[in-house]
Amino acid sequence: MGIKITPADSWFSKCVRKRANWACEMCGAQHDESSTGLHCSHFHGRGNWSLRFNPDNVRALCFGCHAKMGANPFEHTEWFKDQVGDGMFQILLDLKRDVGLAKDYRKTKGKGDISKHFKQQFEQMQDYEIKEIEPFL
């Protein structure tokens, strides 16, 4: 069974895809906002709560590129390192191991705080053409 997609996941995903102008960050394929072909691809999987909603851990990838990266972990790692840089790559590895941060996110999961945060982020991105995603802290 897969990981349940929460409202927070949906709003976060919309922010990631909006940040990329609804285009695959690997091949450049453009998608309509209503398309299901552009995914919010987590480098460290969504099951890792300390990074689940970290904007630095995700890229917008089309279905084909997402599948290709999933099937080629070495290539995915090298591409992702190029995207974020060695320093951020190491920071993400350190955050992945942060059990306290993961527990904090899980505590707020049912309260809607994360969902509300990213819904507001998305609305601001729509209204003001903002390209940065403010992390949920």
Query: What is the average per-residue pLDDT within 21-46?
Result: 96
- What is the average pLDDT score of the chain? 93
- Give the pLDDT of residue 136: 86
Measured CA to CA, the distance from residue 2 to residue 99 in angstroms comes to 22
User: pLDDT grade, residue 5 (50/70/90)?
Assistant: confident
Residue keyed to tokens 């505590």: 107
Percent of the chain with pLDDT over 90: 77
Residue 3 has pLDDT above 90, yes or no: no
Asked if 60 and 39 count as a contact pair (C-beta separation under 8 A), the reply is yes
What are the extents of the domains in the chain? Answer: 7-121
